[in-house]
């Protein structure tokens, strides 16, 4: 018989897969002897069973009863006891933290009778009724699917009638009336009365938690966080401790260090006389930990002690949820806490300095995705601006966008290509889609531990929370300060998530200090004085020592090359020579294609040669002493020739107006007509063009080698590699190689220099990967072009897919992320693996690199390490990210 239930004292933190993060860490706290209310965990296995069978496993009821009986024995109280009822919390908790995405039901066990017992026992009828109305509200919404607004309206009315603004001020009588109304709502909406049997409440709450695994917002969250959909959630049944019992009671959330900046010292929010969800929901403005020290000194000291122990035990920043019941502290949750990118770097190196972890472990505590965030721009320090309000610095960064009060408005702005700032009184999990699509989030209520703050940090969105001066009126579409309207929907707002400031209008942004420190734009001593910058430098050095793969950049100009080098690039993995023909020089490609005969073509090529030579001199000079892979021309012709329809229309219009026909344009039209392709990305590109226009690759080869010779004669050390694109057959290579090698040998002869140059090919078509053993007979090296390889493996147009059906595919879970952004390891990646293996079966020393976009994608780099590539090449900006990830992959 499968065991689906574990008492807290039976588990450990290693069992996250089975018990979920919350259950595993509760168990761990029990092992550490910390004050955890007795309870048990229903495993994720039970949830997975529920998902496949549509019902709970049969043995679950008996196992829950038995575990419940153990809790009752431990506490000497019983569920449903009318004199001294035991209450339980039923809480979700999956392997990966999904804050606020799934359901929780508190105060299970209350009914019309036990609520009286609770009132007598606690001596507070008000407290008992408040607990009961919370149960009705949560159970109604979560288990019975009743519209939450119906309950909220009743509560609002009750407050209005009493003339108060907070729930705490409602009396026992007010709450008794609210309870009556809530029960009526449940009866009206479901056709059944609220179940009085505590066991039935417990059973239904457990099922509701299972169900909440597939709630739409949970699915959206898993899609963005790339969490598999089949893990399921565990359910924790925990005896209730009551933070809303009296004024010696409280609930709070705390971090062992500041999760926004990483600064040393505990950080947290709490509320007196409240239950846990009040703190994160931002319903009342919270108080900060130092106030707890004044109000409840003994509790504060114990909490600090526990938090220190947890941090030493987990050797990382932890967050905790705690409740104080009549002066006694209870721990309800802990986990290794989420943090901003900035905090991640600072905490990792601080823990090294504190002797808690070593440098290599520190490297595992940060990610390339986090580093990417630190490379984002900030508001320019000297830009004129006036803060119109200030809130909490909840999630760093600088965001500028138009005010949107709802997710729908955010999405509309996004469709129009505008960035949005989502402005809410407080966010709830249903706002997730809007939060994802916005540039930044502003709330007027709630602190740094509120839902908005936690989710924003997880998503890497800038957020300012608790801007108390703002009265956010979503219905009127206005933000007011006092009676004055300070902003309306659609107005531009700038928010600084690192300071909490809010500015009207668009404030200019400037590059990040991390980038500037890496490129040497700020004095190294000044830079190192910045703790964050110093942490990043230090961990990049650790990564550089650890990594096997080299990091190169894709760069087409001397400026890009210099920038890449400053950011740590060890060479260039891809110079796209067609980029040298964009802009003014575009007509040269046109001329080349239009050339009527060999003589004309020769003339065009001759005119191109000196320009190309100068291009290469610039790049090779900037990368002196490091490898530069120049890819010979690969222009999808539609990017260089006029559009057939546009040109035809233009000429037809001219004719209609009686304008004499331009002979050149006629010639162009004829050529465009001749060369027009339905699928230009699959057309006359790369080596195919070279074989159609003899002399083209020869000219480029000459330009490259003459540039190298010139630099060599200046005493420099140019290192070039020549690369042939879009090859699918070894015969193509065999046809083109003689043209390239003949020119190379000729330039060596002419200059009397040994300009040893390797000549390789790109692997960017499935056939090339499959025939890599043959290609390696001709090629000195391979570079995987995963952009085209993804396009041709999936059959998705790389230019269109992300604007088209991709969103449908993502929403339906067919794709978790764009395969053009993160390598599809199972399909495209398999071809990379095959290409690498087959290539090396011919030439064991074959040098392998990747120059598609994936070379700089933090989620793809480890894969390239594991298939044995020698280097990744990415855009200059992502070089530090690639260095870090290549280091992490090698640990
Ligand atoms: C590729 O296809 O991955 C590649 C690097 O070449 P391009 O993006 O220029 O087609
Ligand atoms: Mg390509």
Residues 820 and 758 placed together within one structural domain of the fold = yes
Query: Residue 46: inside a domain, yes or no?
Result: no
Lowest mean pLDDT among 20-34, 194-208, 798-812: 798-812
* 601-628 pLDDT tens trace: 999 999 999 999 999 999 999 999 999 9
Report the nearest-CA residue for atom 4 of ligand 1.
Answer: 785
Please tell me whether 821 is known to bind a ligand: no
Residue bearing the bigger pLDDT, 256 or 673: 256
Residues 98 and 77 placed together within one structural domain of the fold = yes
Q: Smallest Cα–Cα separation from 883: which of 520, 534, 626, 550? A: 550
pLDDT bracket for residue 638 (50, 70, 90): confident
Q: Is 686 in the pocket of ligand 1 (CB under 6 A)?
A: no
Region of 795 please: left (phi>0), alpha (psi -120 to 50) or beta: left
pTM: 0.81
Angle at 76 between CA 72 and CA 78, to 5 degrees: 50
Taking residues 452-459, report their average pLDDT: 72
Lowest mean pLDDT among 556-560, 677-681, 869-873: 677-681
Query: Residue 7: inside a domain, yes or no?
Result: no
Taking residues 452-476, report their average pLDDT: 84
**Alpha-carbon dihedral sign for residues 786, 789, 793, 794:** positive
Residues forming the active site? 451, 851
In 372-475, where do the E strands start and end? 378-379, 387-390, 392-395, 398-404, 420-424, 440-443, 462-465, 471-473
Residue 48 has pLDDT above 90, yes or no: yes
Query: Residue 24: inside a domain, yes or no?
Result: no
Ion ligand 2: residues, CB within 5 A, are: 764, 785, 788
The domain boundary residue, chosen from 205, 239, 273: 239
Query: Residue 245: inside a domain, yes or no?
Result: no
Task: Find the domain containing 610 and state its range.
Answer: 547-635+685-889
pLDDT bracket for residue 783 (50, 70, 90): very high
pLDDT at 817: 75
Residues 410 and 470 placed together within one structural domain of the fold = yes
How many helices (H) and strands (E) in the chain? 36, 33
Q: Is 764 in the pocket of ligand 1 (CB under 6 A)?
A: yes
The domain boundary residue, chosen from 190, 217, 239: 239
Please tell me whether 576 is known to bind a ligand: yes
Q: What CA–CA distance (Å, rounded) separates 213 from 229?
A: 9
Reported for 531-537, long-range contacts at CB under 8 A and 24+ positions apart, including other chains, are 531/346, 532/262, 532/342, 532/345, 532/346, 532/374, 534/349, 535/345, 535/346, 535/348, 535/349, 536/345, 536/371, 536/374, 536/880
All residues at 6 or more sequence positions from 314 whose CB lies less than 8 Å from its CB, including other chains: 13, 334, 336
pLDDT at 133: 96
Residue bearing the bigger pLDDT, 642 or 55: 55
pLDDT at 503: 95
Residues 461 and 392 placed together within one structural domain of the fold = yes
The number of the ligand 1 atom at minimal distance from the alpha carbon of 787 is: 3
Please tell me whether 799 is known to bind a ligand: no
Please tell me whether 631 is known to bind a ligand: yes
The number of the ligand 1 atom at minimal distance from the alpha carbon of 851 is: 5
Q: What SS3 state is found at 564?
A: helix
Report the nearest-CA residue for atom 6 of ligand 1.
Answer: 785
Please tell me whether 787 is known to bind a ligand: yes
Query: Residue 267: inside a domain, yes or no?
Result: yes
If one counts every other C-beta atom within 10 angstroms of the C-beta of residue 716, the result is 14
Give the distance (Å) from ligand 1 centre to CA of residue 687: 13
Q: Is 576 in the pocket of ligand 1 (CB under 6 A)?
A: yes
pLDDT at 282: 64
Residue 335 has pLDDT above 90, yes or no: yes
- Which pair of structure tokens corresponds to residue 6? 């574990």
Query: Residue 310: inside a domain, yes or no?
Result: yes
Q: Is 786 in the pocket of ligand 1 (CB under 6 A)?
A: yes
pLDDT bracket for residue 283 (50, 70, 90): low
Q: What CA–CA distance (Å, rounded) separates 481 from 859?
A: 44
- 462 neighbors 441 (Cβ within 8 angstroms): yes
The secondary structure of residue 877, as a DSSP letter, is G
Residue bearing the bigger pLDDT, 891 or 282: 891
- 70 neighbors 237 (Cβ within 8 angstroms): no
Q: What CA–CA distance (Å, rounded) separates 332 from 29?
A: 9
pLDDT at 448: 65
Residue with tokens 């038995």: 66
Residue 668 has pLDDT above 70, yes or no: yes
The total of structural domains in the chain comes to: 4
Residue 74 has pLDDT above 70, yes or no: yes
- Which pair of structure tokens corresponds to residue 488? 């309306």
Q: How many residues does the chain have?
A: 891
Residue 590 has pLDDT above 90, yes or no: no
Residues 92 and 225 placed together within one structural domain of the fold = yes
Buried b (16+ CB within 10 A) or exposed e, 851-863: bbbbbbbbbbbbb
Angle at 847 between CA 843 and CA 853, to 5 degrees: 135
Give the distance (Å) from ligand 2 centre to CA of residue 763: 9
Q: How far from chain centre, in Å, is Cα 443?
A: 21
pLDDT at 655: 82
Query: Residue 78: inside a domain, yes or no?
Result: yes
CATH number of the CATH domain containing 255: 3.30.470.20
DSSP per-residue codes, 115-180: HHHHHHHHT-HHHHHHHHHHHHHHIIIIIS---HHHHHHHHHHHHHHHT-SSGGG--HHHHHHHHH
pLDDT bracket for residue 583 (50, 70, 90): low
The domain boundary residue, chosen from 510, 534, 555: 510
Give the distance (Å) from ligand 1 centre to CA of residue 725: 9
DSSP per-residue codes, 49-94: HHHHHSS--TTHHHHHHHHHHHHHHHHT-EET-SSSEE-EEEEEEE
Lowest mean pLDDT among 150-159, 511-520, 751-760: 511-520
357 φ, ψ to 5°?
Answer: -135, 165
Residues 699 and 844 placed together within one structural domain of the fold = yes
Residues 316 and 447 placed together within one structural domain of the fold = no
All residues at 6 or more sequence positions from 27 whose CB lies less than 8 Å from its CB, including other chains: 6, 8, 9, 10, 11, 12, 13, 15, 19, 41
Residues 173 and 298 placed together within one structural domain of the fold = no
Give the distance (Å) from ligand 2 centre to CA of residue 793: 13
463 φ, ψ to 5°?
Answer: -145, 140
pLDDT bracket for residue 802 (50, 70, 90): low
pLDDT at 581: 80
Of the residues 556, 576, 791, 857, which should be mutated to test ligand 1's pocket, given the most ligand atoms within 8 Å of the CB? 576
pLDDT bracket for residue 26 (50, 70, 90): very high
pLDDT at 798: 80
Residues 590 and 477 placed together within one structural domain of the fold = no
Taking residues 674-692, report their average pLDDT: 90
Give the distance (Å) from ligand 2 centre to CA of residue 725: 7
Taking residues 467-480, report their average pLDDT: 92
The percentage of the chain sitting over the pLDDT mark of 90, rounded to a whole number, equals: 70
Q: Is 787 in the pocket of ligand 1 (CB under 6 A)?
A: yes
* 805-848 pLDDT tens trace: 776 787 677 887 779 889 999 999 999 999 999 999 999 999 99
In 566-710, where do the E strands start and end? 571-576, 627-631
Residues 326 and 426 placed together within one structural domain of the fold = no
ipTM of this predicted structure: 0.99
Residue 494 has pLDDT above 90, yes or no: yes
Q: What SS3 state is found at 482?
A: coil
Residue with tokens 């830079």: 527
CATH number of the CATH domain containing 137: 1.20.80.30
Q: What CA–CA distance (Å, rounded) separates 823 from 817?
A: 9
DSSP per-residue codes, 636-656: -GGGTSPPHHHHHHHHHHHHH
- Which pair of structure tokens corresponds to residue 627? 């490898």
Q: Is 243 in the pocket of ligand 1 (CB under 6 A)?
A: no
Looking at all shown ligands, the one closest to residue 853's CA atom is 1
Residues 118 and 191 placed together within one structural domain of the fold = yes
CATH number of the CATH domain containing 711: 3.20.20.60
| Beta strand 387-390 pairing with 501-504 | antiparallel
| Element (DSSP H or E) covering residue 527 | helix 524-529
Query: Residue 59: inside a domain, yes or no?
Result: no
The number of the ligand 1 atom at minimal distance from the alpha carbon of 783 is: 5
443 φ, ψ to 5°?
Answer: -125, 155
Q: What CA–CA distance (Å, rounded) separates 418 from 776?
A: 48
pLDDT bracket for residue 747 (50, 70, 90): very high
Please tell me whether 822 is known to bind a ligand: no
Residues 443 and 492 placed together within one structural domain of the fold = yes
Give the chain's mean pLDDT.
92
């Amino acid at each position: 018989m499968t065991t689906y239930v574990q008492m807290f004292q039976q588990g450990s933190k290693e069992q996250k897969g089975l018990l979920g993060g919350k259950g595993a860490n509760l168990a761990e706290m029990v092992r550490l002897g910390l004050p955890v209310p007795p309870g048990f965990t229903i495993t994720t296995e039970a949830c997975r069973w529920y998902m496949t069978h549509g019902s709970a496993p049969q043995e679950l009821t008996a196992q829950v009863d038995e575990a419940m009986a153990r809790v009752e024995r431990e506490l000497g109280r019983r569920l449903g006891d009318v004199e001294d009822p035991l209450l339980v919390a039923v809480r979700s908790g999956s392997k990966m933290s999904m804050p606020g995405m799934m359901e929780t039901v508190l105060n299970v066990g209350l009914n019309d009778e036990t609520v009286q017992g609770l009132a007598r026992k606690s001596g507070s009828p008000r407290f008992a009724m408040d607990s009961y109305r919370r149960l009705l509200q949560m159970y109604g919404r979560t288990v019975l699917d009743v519209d939450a607004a119906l309950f909220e309206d009743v509560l609002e009315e009750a407050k209005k009638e009493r003339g108060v603004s907070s729930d705490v001020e409602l009396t026992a009588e007010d709450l008794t009336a609210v309870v009556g109304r809530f029960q009526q709502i449940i009866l009206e909406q479901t056709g059944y009365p609220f179940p009085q049997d505590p066991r039935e409440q417990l059973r239904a709450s457990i099922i509701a938690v299972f169900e909440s695994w597939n709630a739409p917002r949970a699915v959206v969250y898993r899609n963005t966080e790339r969490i598999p959909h089949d893990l399921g959630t565990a359910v924790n049944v925990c005896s209730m401790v009551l933070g809303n019992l009296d004024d010696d009671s409280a609930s709070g959330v705390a971090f062992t260090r500041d999760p926004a900046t990483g600064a040393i010292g505990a950080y947290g929010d709490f509320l007196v006389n409240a239950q846990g969800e009040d703190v994160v929901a931002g319903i009342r403005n919270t108080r900060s930990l130092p106030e707890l020290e004044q109000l409840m000194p003994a509790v504060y000291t114990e909490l600090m002690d526990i938090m220190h122990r947890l941090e030493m035990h987990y050797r990382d920043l932890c967050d905790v949820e705690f409740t104080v019941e009549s002066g006694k502290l209870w721990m309800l949750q802990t986990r290794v806490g989420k943090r901003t990118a900035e905090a991640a770097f600072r905490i990792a190196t601080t823990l090294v300095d504190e002797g808690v972890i070593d440098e290599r472990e520190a490297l595992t505590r940060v990610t390339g995705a986090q580093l990417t965030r630190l490379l984002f721009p900030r508001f320019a320090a000297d830009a004129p601006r006036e803060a119109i309000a200030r809130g909490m610095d909840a999630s760093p960064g600088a965001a500028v966008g138009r005010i949107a009060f709802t997710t729908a408005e955010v999405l509309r702005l996004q469709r129009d290509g505008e960035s949005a700032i989502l402005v809410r009184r407080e966010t709830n999990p249903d706002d997730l889609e809007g939060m994802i699509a916005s540039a930044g989030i502003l709330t007027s209520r709630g602190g740094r531990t509120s839902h908005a703050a936690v989710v924003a940090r997880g998503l890497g969105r800038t957020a300012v929370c608790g801007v108390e001066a703002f009265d956010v009126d979503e219905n009127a579409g206005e933000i007011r300060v006092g009676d004055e309207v300070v902003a309306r929907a659609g107005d531009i707002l700038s928010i600084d998530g690192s300071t909490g400031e809010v500015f009207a209008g668009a404030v200019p942004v400037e590059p990040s200090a991390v980038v500037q420190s890496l490129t040497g734009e700020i004095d190294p001593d000044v830079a190192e004085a910045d703790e964050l910058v110093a942490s990043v430098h230090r961990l990049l050095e650790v990564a550089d020592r650890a990594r096997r793969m080299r990091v190169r950049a894709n760069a087409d100009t001397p400026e890009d090359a210099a920038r890449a080098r400053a950011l740590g690039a060890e060479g260039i993995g891809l110079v796209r020579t067609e980029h040298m023909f964009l802009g003014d020089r575009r007509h040269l490609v046109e001329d080349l294609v239009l050339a009527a005969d060999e003589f004309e073509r020769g003339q065009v090529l001759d005119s191109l040669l000196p320009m190309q030579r100068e291009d290469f001199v610039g790049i090779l000079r900037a990368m002196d002493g490091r490898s530069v892979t120049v890819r010979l021309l690969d222009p999808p012709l539609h990017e260089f020739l006029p559009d057939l329809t546009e040109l035809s229309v233009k000429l037809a219009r001219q004719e209609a107006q009686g304008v004499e026909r331009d002979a050149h344009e006629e010639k162009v039209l004829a050529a465009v007509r001749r060369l027009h392709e339905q699928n230009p990305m699959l057309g006359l590109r790369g080596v195919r063009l070279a074989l159609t226009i003899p002399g083209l690759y020869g000219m480029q080869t000459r330009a490259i080698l003459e540039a190298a010779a010139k630099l060599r004669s200046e005493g420099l050390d140019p290192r070039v590699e020549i690369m042939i694109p879009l090859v699918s057959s070894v015969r193509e290579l065999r046809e083109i190689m003689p043209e390239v090698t003949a020119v190379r040998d000729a330039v060596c002869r002419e200059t009397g220099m040994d300009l040893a140059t390797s000549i390789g090919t790109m692997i960017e078509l499935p056939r090339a990967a499959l025939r890599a053993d043959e290609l390696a007979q001709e090629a000195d090296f391979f570079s995987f072009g995963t952009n085209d390889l993804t396009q041709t493996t999936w059959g998705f147009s790389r230019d269109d897919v992300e604007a088209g059906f991709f969103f449908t595919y993502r929403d339906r879970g067919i794709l978790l992320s764009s395969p053009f952004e993160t390598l599809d390891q199972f399909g495209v990646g398999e071809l990379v693996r095959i290409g690498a293996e087959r290539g090396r079966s011919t030439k064991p020393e074959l040098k392998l690199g990747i120059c598609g976009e994936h070379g700089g994608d933090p989620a793809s780099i480890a894969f390239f390490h594991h298939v044995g590539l020698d280097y990744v090449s990415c855009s200059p900006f992502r070089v530090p990210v690639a260095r870090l990830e290549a280091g992490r992959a090698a640990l």
